[in-house]
Every structure is written in C-alpha cells, then in structure tokens.
Structure 1
Amino acid sequence: MTTTLAGKPGFLRSQLGGLPRPFWALWGGTLVNRLGTMVMPFTGVYLTQARGLPLATAGVVMAVFGAGSLISQLLAGVLTDRIGRRATLAGGMLATAVTMVALGYSTSLPAIMGAMFALGVVIDAYRPASNALVADLVSPAERPRAYGLLFWAINLGYALSMTAGGWLARLGFTWLFWINAVTCVIFAVLVWRAIPETRPATRQDTGGGFGVVLRDRLMLGFTLVVLGNALVYSQTFTMLPIAMTSVVGLSTDRFGMAMALNGVLIVIVQPLVSGWLGRRDPSRTFALGLFVMGAGFALTAFVTTTGWLAVTIAVWTAGEIVTAGIAGTIVAALAPAHLRGRYSGLFGFAWSAAAMLAPLLGGALLEIGQQALWFTVGGIGLVSAVGMLALGPAIRRR
C-alpha cells in the first residue's frame, strides 16, 4: 500500500481534496508570492544598516508604511465588493511590484518615506480580495481547511524565503526587492488567467457600505481582538529583527535561519492538526493560540543566542498554528455575501493599524530595554486571549 503523509491512508485526500480548482490557483499564486517575500521581514535591518537610519527614525518610517496600509484595507475592501475580487487582487500585486523596485532604489529619507507609504497602500490590497474569494468559492464547512491551507502556503514560502533572504541580504538588499517584485507579477498573471470573478453581480447586492459593518458590534469586538493579535505578531517583522541583530548581535543569516524555523514548523505540524483544530470551538481555540503566542514573545526578553531565539520562535509558532484559519473563518461567517470585501477590509484594517502602531510602540519600548518590549508584547497577547473568551458566547450564538 502506498505510504501517505502522517502514515494514514487518505490523509492527503482529506486535507487537499474537495476544494474547487480556482482555490488552488489562489493557493499556488500565494505560495509563489511568499517564496519571494523577502523585503518585509528585513525592512528594519535594511533601513538601519543599508540606509543608516537611527532606530527611532526606522520605527517612524515603518509606521508610515502602516499608515498607508490603513488606507489600503478600507479602500481594497470597497474595491473588492465594487470592481471585483480578481481585479483588486491582480491590480494590487502589479502595483506592489512597481513600488518594491522604487523603494529598493530610494536613498534619501523623503524618497524612502514616500515609497514606504505607497508600499503600505498596495502591498496588502490583496487580503480583502483573497479572503472574499475563499468565502465565495468554498462551502462554510470547508472554510477552516481552506483558510488553513492558505496559511500553510504562506509559511511554506516563508520558510524558504527567510533562509534565502538572510543570505541575499549580505550580498545586497537590491536582490530582495527585485525577487519580491517578480513574484508579485507572477501572482497577478496567475490570478487573472485562472480565477473567475465571484462578486455578486447586481447593484442591489453590493449596497450597504461600511456603515453596516460598523454597526455589527460583534465584528467590532472581534476586530479589537485581532488588533491585539496583530500587535503581537507584527513584532516579527518590525522590532524582532532589529532587536536580534542590533541589540543581541546576531548576524542577518543566523537570524534568517532561526526565523525559518517558524515556517518549517508550520509546514510540518499544521496539516497534521488542522482537521482536529477545525472541529474545536473557534473562540476557545483562538484564545488558546493568542495566549501561547504572547507567552512565546514574553520569553524573547531572555534571548542571548541563536539557539534560545529558536526556542522562543517554536513557542509562539505553536500559538500561531492553533489560530491558523480560524480568524478568516469567523469573518466569513459574520459577513453577508455582498459585504465580504468590506468585512475583510475591516479585519485587515486591524492588521494595518498594528503595522503602524507596532514599530512606534516597539521602538520606544526597545530603547528602554528588551524586557520592557517583550513583557509588554506578552501582556497584549494575554489581554487579547481574555477578550476572545469574552466574545465566545456571542460568536457561538451567531
């Protein structure tokens, strides 16, 4: 008998079967794009080492990126519902490719800040469209698995790109920008050729606007929890690289190799546990993941070597695996079909707000000391977990 993953007959069929072909085009494009996503994890290192910016200035520049991303999520949410999922996703990827190259060749502070703001506007424009596509294409019962598979693709690419990015950064950061740009173009072409438009066709279906979303108090509460989650996780590409290279003294290639553990663990473990986690209560499962992530980042206060960094990464990665696919599933369940783009836009807005706030908060705390930064981040994770438990009864009733 043929051996299957995890030694269980039918494992691959149960994990990968039954999903529509356009979903797999989205999955493949996401994987290719993430294989080339080398710029954002090393942005802080690029700004401080290649461009010589002080820590505080680098934090402000990354906050400018976050400000652009705030606009991105709300705008992309509207565009997803109005002009369509496919056009928004492909257009965002092409704009990201152009902006990546522009940032790579920017040398003055005004040019860097302008390029970072533009990158913030376009780089995450795909998120509301991608989330809405999955909700449109996949049945409610299969959505946790579908969102989990996208999460898996992201981290499969991330595991490889972090390792390669650490080495390429030593050769020259320009390589990172060009590779990232090329994979964005590939993703855009794949989306345009292989994914049909799925948005509601009539004007009546696309009515409602953000007012409907903002009157959904359960969605607003969940967005606050997601904001806490995003503030914690955003440290992985804002302050964690700076703290580990500039304060602890690790080289970029050692940091990249340690961070690759995050993707490797997710690629190996997440498919094995996603089915079981998908059958658990979403709110309790999400709260558990938030707590574990917070604990992992709190432990980062004691990191002095690459080995100890790997240990903390393993802890918060366990929390990340527990939460995989759940947030997107909750948003898809809360959103009416014709407002999925806007609901996903508000969900993405929380991540964008974190991208703006995390470097400001993290930069100020890191100047005080590593303990101040990582204990605060851990506390945010704990508060978010408690908030998720409080929302649990209402989510179950919905």
Structure 2
Amino acid sequence: MKSATAEKPVSFLRAQVGGLPRPFWALWGGTLVNRLGTMVMPFTGVYLTQSRGLSVTAAGLVMAVFGAGSLLSQPLAGTLADRIGRRATLSGGMLATAAAMLALGYSTSLPAILASMLALGVVVDLYRPASSALVADLVPPAERPRAYGLLFWGINLGYSVGMTAGGWLAGLGFLWLFWIDALSAVVFAVLVWRAVPETRPEGTGEASGGFLVVLRDRVMVAFTLVVLGNALVYSQTMTMLPVAMTKVAGLTAAQYGLAMALNGVLIVVVQPLVSGWLGRRDPARTFALGLAVMGAGFALTAFAGSTPALAATIAVWTAGEIVTAGIAGTIVAGLAPAHLRGRYAGLFGLAWSAAAVLAPLLGGPLLELGARALWFTIGGIGLVSALGMLALGPAIRRRRQAG
C-alpha cells in the first residue's frame, strides 16, 4: 500500500493539472514550444546594431515600426478569431510569424528590414486573442483562472529557457535564432491544427458591429484602461529598469541579469502552487491586490542601489505578477459574449501593445528627472490601477451573476 505521505504529492499535482480538457493541453504544449523558441525578439536590438550594422537611431526606427505593427495586430487578430475561427487564426498567425522571422533574418537593406519588422509586428502576436478565446470556449468558468494561470506559467518557463539558449546561440550566429524561432512557430501551428477543434460558436462569423460592440461595453473599456495601467508598470522591466539599474545605480549587466533571474525562478516555482487557491478568490479583488503589490515593488526600486536590494524589489513585484496571473483572462472571458470573445481579447491585447509604445515615452523623461521621479510615478500608476479595479469590482460581479 502507498503511504499517505506518498499520496500527497500525487493529489496536489492532480489538483493543479487535472480536470482540464485534452485540447487545452495541446494548446498549452504548443504555447510552451513556441516560447522555448522565442529567441529573436529579446535580442533584436543587438542583432540590428551588431549583425546588420545599423545605428542606434536606425535601430530605434525599426523597433518603432514593429510597435506600430503590434498596435494593428490585436484588433485584427480578435476580429479574425471571431470571423474565421480560433484555430485558423492561431495556426495562420504562427505560419505567418515563421515566414516573417525568416524574411527578417535574411534582410540586409534598411527598407527590407523595415518591411519585415512591420510584418512581424502585425503577425507575431496574432495568436493571443485566439488562444484566450479558445481557453474560454474549452474550459468551464470555475476552472478558467487555473487554465489561464497554467498558460502564464508555461509561457514563463519556455521564455526562461529560450532566453538562456538564445544568448548562447547568438554567439554562434544570429541566423540560428531566426530558424529556431520559425520552426517553433510552425510546430505550434501544426499542433493546434491537428489537436485542437474549432470552438467558435456556430452562426456568429458575421457578428455585427465589429469592435464598436466591444467599445460600447463600458465595463470592458474601463477594465482595459486598468490593464493599460498594469501594462505601463510591467513594461518598465523591458524599458527603463535595465537602464536605471546599470546607468544610474551602477550595477553591471551580469549583476542585473542575476537579480532579474529571480523573477523567472519565482514564477516557475511559486505560481503553480498558488494558482488554484487564487482562482477561488473574487477575481476583481484579487487582480486589484496584485496590481497594488506590483506598484509597491516598483516604487521600492527607487531605493535599490545594490544587487540584493534590487532582488528584494523584484521579489515584491513578482509576487504581484503571480497574483494577477490568470485573473485578467478570466475577467475578459466573463465579460465577453461567446461570439465576441476574440474581439474582447483583442481589445485586452491592444492595451499591452499600446503600453509597449508608451512605456519608454513615459519612463525616459521621468528617469531624466531622477530615479525617484520614475519609480514613485510608476508605483502611483499601479496604485491608481488597483483602486480603479476595486471600483469596477461590483459591475464585474453583477456581470458574472447575470452570466
């Protein structure tokens, strides 16, 4: 007979991953493979300046073009997910991403690089609204926080490994990164096409009103503004945080990388342990708590002048990130009518695309004023977003009850 002690890990594992439909796991597996192969985007700036010899100004122009493409991406993807289907949009987007990756890898002139980056900006995240809608279609409401949380965990696990491998492969030649990224996108497309059924509700391909229907939903628009605040806070990790810590606080790149590695470790280790418990809490209050903790963590960065101090602040805002994981997707799925889930997810994704463009425009001038000006402002945005989420809570709960 198995001992009670031996049964506990099995029971815990079953509670975390059991009960979800097989197509969800195909989607999860494809997402993991895709993130394992996500090697190009984190090293794009290095590739453009070192391999293609572009100036910093020209590289900035190329990245701005990518950002413009990403702003178009989410509304387009949401509409396609509702019109032609979730599976076709996701698989088609991944195949288009593979083609755009290879086109960029073999582009040598600035016009060709600009065209490839614009195309990549449009297609690289086409899968997101379709993936979000698929989870909402496949998974019962009570299990959605856990399902979205598991997707978040898989993305972070794959990204952590992909970043490590990408840094090593870049030393062998950047073209390796483009081919591996393209191959992982093709695997994701094939896996979804073969193992995930189409879930778009019948007879809704010509849903009237398009995005105007979504924009008339005041609760969803207000929630999108809250998400924009969240995205502006988190996007500093990819824009101003490395600059502030290396240029202002004086940390070396190795010290900064060591501290940032804590973010991925905490997510991979802690998030699966708490996702089930968090999923049973009220989504609006839970999301507000996570936003407040994230804001506090970034505000504390104003006092971080060493690697241990930076690691402590990272631990705080990572705790907030873990709390919010899976909750935002659950709220969007609860607000959206079944035939408009793609469009609602597209509006949600647009907030993140907009933040990627706005975050450096906000953070750069603030950092010029000083570290405290930047991090206290970012912390304030997190706190305001949390208060906005609390104010929205009653409306979101009424929609859940009505649904």
What TM-score do the two structures reach when normalised by structure 2? Answer: 0.89
Aligned equivalents of 1:253, 1:3: Cα separation in 2:
45
The code of the aligned residue for 1:117 comes to L
The code of the aligned residue for 1:103 comes to L
Percent identity, please. Answer: 79
Rg: which structure is higher? 2
Change beyond 3 A, Cα 1:46–1:301: farther
Aligned equivalents of 2:108, 2:251: Cα separation in 1:
25
Give the corresponding residue for 2:136: 135
The code of the aligned residue for 1:34 comes to R
The code of the aligned residue for 2:314 comes to I
**Deviation at 1:373?**
3.3
Give the corresponding residue for 1:332: 333
Change beyond 3 A, Cα 1:252–1:168: farther
Give the corresponding residue for 1:159: 160
Change beyond 3 A, Cα 1:187–1:320: same
Q: Does 1:85 align with 2:120?
A: no
Change beyond 3 A, Cα 1:194–1:2: farther
Aligned equivalents of 2:182, 2:215: Cα separation in 1:
35
The code of the aligned residue for 1:335 comes to A
**Deviation at 1:60?**
4.9
Give the corresponding residue for 1:76: 77
Task: Map Cα deviations across residues 124-151 of structure 1 (whole Å, 9 max, x no partner).
Answer: 1101100000011111111111111111
362-371 or 348-357: which moved more? 362-371
Aligned equivalents of 1:50, 1:4: Cα separation in 2:
55
* 1:165-176 map, 5 Å: 165-176=166-177
Q: 8 Å contact 1:77–1:344 — kept in the other structure?
A: yes
**1:10 aligned counterpart, secondary structure:** helix
**Deviation at 1:111?**
4.0
**Deviation at 1:312?**
2.6
372-381 or 133-142: which moved more? 372-381
The code of the aligned residue for 2:73 comes to S
Give the corresponding residue for 2:279: 278
**2:201 aligned counterpart, secondary structure:** coil
Give the corresponding residue for 1:347: 348
Change beyond 3 A, Cα 1:131–1:66: same
Change beyond 3 A, Cα 1:390–1:44: farther
* 1:1-398 map, 5 Å: 1=2, 7-47=8-48, 59-106=60-107, 108-203=109-204, 206-244=207-245, 255-398=256-399
Aligned equivalents of 1:5, 1:34: Cα separation in 2:
33
Aligned equivalents of 1:299, 1:107: Cα separation in 2:
43
**Deviation at 1:277?**
0.9
**Deviation at 1:179?**
2.4
**Deviation at 1:389?**
1.1
Aligned equivalents of 1:271, 1:349: Cα separation in 2:
27
What TM-score do the two structures reach when normalised by structure 1? Answer: 0.90
Q: 8 Å contact 2:39–2:162 — kept in the other structure?
A: yes
Task: Map Cα deviations across residues 237-280 of structure 1 (whole Å, 9 max, x no partner).
Answer: 33334555566666666544543322221111111111111111
Task: Map Cα deviations across residues 372-398 of structure 1 (whole Å, 9 max, x no partner).
Answer: 433332222122111111111111121
Aligned equivalents of 1:314, 1:196: Cα separation in 2:
39
Change beyond 3 A, Cα 1:296–1:170: farther
Task: Map Cα deviations across residues 58-79 of structure 1 (whole Å, 9 max, x no partner).
Answer: 5554333222111111111110
Change beyond 3 A, Cα 1:139–1:205: farther
**2:241 aligned counterpart, secondary structure:** helix
Task: Map Cα deviations across residues 142-168 of structure 1 (whole Å, 9 max, x no partner).
Answer: 111111111111111122223333444
Aligned equivalents of 1:395, 1:339: Cα separation in 2:
17
Change beyond 3 A, Cα 1:326–1:213: same
Q: 8 Å contact 2:84–2:205 — kept in the other structure?
A: no
Q: 8 Å contact 2:74–2:126 — kept in the other structure?
A: yes
Q: 8 Å contact 1:35–1:161 — kept in the other structure?
A: yes
Task: Map Cα deviations across residues 218-252 of structure 1 (whole Å, 9 max, x no partner).
Answer: 00000000111111122223333455556666666
Aligned equivalents of 1:54, 1:4: Cα separation in 2:
61
Change beyond 3 A, Cα 1:5–1:19: farther
**Deviation at 1:307?**
4.0
308-317 or 242-251: which moved more? 242-251
Unaligned runs of 5+ in 1: none
Q: 8 Å contact 1:68–1:121 — kept in the other structure?
A: yes
The code of the aligned residue for 1:384 comes to S
Q: 8 Å contact 1:166–1:254 — kept in the other structure?
A: no
**Deviation at 1:95?**
1.4
Q: How many residues align?
A: 398
Aligned equivalents of 1:377, 1:109: Cα separation in 2:
35
232-241 or 287-296: which moved more? 232-241
Change beyond 3 A, Cα 1:326–1:363: same
Unaligned runs of 5+ in 2: none
**1:222 aligned counterpart, secondary structure:** helix
**Deviation at 1:37?**
1.6
